[in-house]
Amino acid sequence: MDFKFTTEEITAERERQNYEIWQKCPVGTVIWHMTGRVVNDDNGKQKMLWYPKPECIQQSNERGFLTIATLSPTNYGSSWSNIGRNYFLSREECLEEWGDRPTADDYELPENEAPKEKIFGKVVSEDTVITIWDGNIATHIYQDIPFQLIDGKNIDKTVLTLKEIRSRFPKGIITVFTESGLSGVAYQIGNAYEPNGEKWRFYARTGGYA
């Protein structure tokens, strides 16, 4: 006669195992999983690179944990059952589980998916005109990372080019956020090694200030 666990017994055992893992993995514990990212090789062909990626537990309770802190402590994106059995492992376990599979392989776009144009990081003309303020568009200029506001009411013109902005703030990383009520863009200079001189680059797209 086969013995079968009841639903209550299975649930109780799962809760016991999850509680045990929770006690062994306090906030600050580093856990790993294999992840992949698409890159362009020297010949312009796309490759998928696989590597063990570390994550740090930032928040936790008996139900699960977050590796990224948020303002909503009741949202826990990962269950404790994901540790040690099917996703999060030690770095050594990740590599061992990966075995002899290649850590770099050709990447093919999914069927019916068109290549996406890369816009973030693209070079932007220094002659791009930026409206500082016109009643609808508002621009703020920041220096360094973390961002430090360096403009404000001291800008004496309603429009400036990116070249003019750099001439006013010639050192370090400069980030320009220019937004209307419902949309906006950001440009940045000084945050990358430029062998042929600095260039303004497309940094972000925003949802506007409204």
pLDDT at 77 over 70: no
Which carries the bigger pLDDT value, residue 2 or residue 147?
A: 147
DSSP 115: P
pLDDT band for 174, please (50, 70, 90 cuts).
Answer: very high
pLDDT band for 161, please (50, 70, 90 cuts).
Answer: very high
Listed in order, strand segments (DSSP E) in 123-196 are: 123-124, 129-131, 138-143, 148-149, 159-161, 174-179, 184-189
Where b means 16+ CB within 10 Å and e means fewer, 166-201 reads beebeeebbbbbbbeeeebbbbbbbbeeeeeeebbb
In what helix (H) or strand (E) does residue 32 lie, and over which residues does it extend? strand 30-40
Give the residue among 93, 94, 56, 98 at the shortest CA–CA distance from 78. Answer: 56
